[in-house]
Structure 1
Amino acid sequence: MSGAEATNARLIDVELDETIGRSTPDVEHERAVAIFDLIEENSFRPVNDDGGGPYKLKLSLAESRLIFAISRQDGSDVVAHILSLTPFRRIVKDYYLICESYYDAIRSSTPSHIEAIDMGRRGLHNEGSQTLMDRLTGKIEIDFDTARRLFTLVCVLHWRG
């Protein structure tokens, strides 16, 4: 990929459709932070897209599926991909449980115990990120750091607060 292609193989906007629903102010803040982090640094290109980016991503939910609607900077449609959320259920559930343990440990545990829980938390996050990359193979080219940021957003979409 040339320098110009690499510069354009990225997201410049992420929008959550009204199907995502809204939640508590804390959850909405976490969603905003996840979107900011994703836009700030990412590598994102739909496979076989010759028109080039940068891209906009609109996420929506339909019947336990996550819809990635991708458009160009000018708003013209590129492609939409639909992913089942089923492969993420266990990982997201386990991730929330370990996050709760982590936040509880911060208040009362030893640094070594906190570090051990954090290692487990990062491991689950990596597993979810890899699952997302695998599910997007042949659809959207992303690097692992972008997969991590997208997985964070997927987790925050499930968080009801």
Structure 2
Amino acid sequence: MLTSVIPTASVLVVEDEFLVAHELQMILEQARYRVCGQAFSVAEALSLMQHERPDIVLLDIYLQGEQTGLDLARHLDGLNIPFVFISAFANASLIEEAKATRPQGYLVKPFRPQDVLVTLEIAYHRFQTTPPPVAPAPEPPAAPKPAPRPAARH
């Protein structure tokens, strides 16, 4: 089994199926990751993140509550926290929606422990070695229009 190459890396598991969340925690802890929390909903994940910023998030797409993992992913991207989706669904439209959130990876359930660990290592490495995207420069303000000249008097 792989061991975390990221000393004491903290992982937040956001998964609403208890057995899957528990399995992920066991896989991660055996590989010497530190699971900083398990959340079953976006609201719970946000609450946990007020106390500790995870190094990376494993994120299911369909969660309890009104908000989805896609909603949380947009928030994580804004905070510059890397995340990997874990979902039982992989249809084309969902993949397109997921890609728009800029994940570091996507695992399809059911998964093998090795799949989780390899994906996590690659995702975190990619996040650490890829510079963040540069926001486009704002458009310069338009030059002020010259004031109209007064009419010449003759």
Higher strand share: 1
Higher helix share: 1
TM-score when scaled to structure 2?
0.30
TM-score when scaled to structure 1?
0.29
- Greater Rg, structure 1 or structure 2? 2
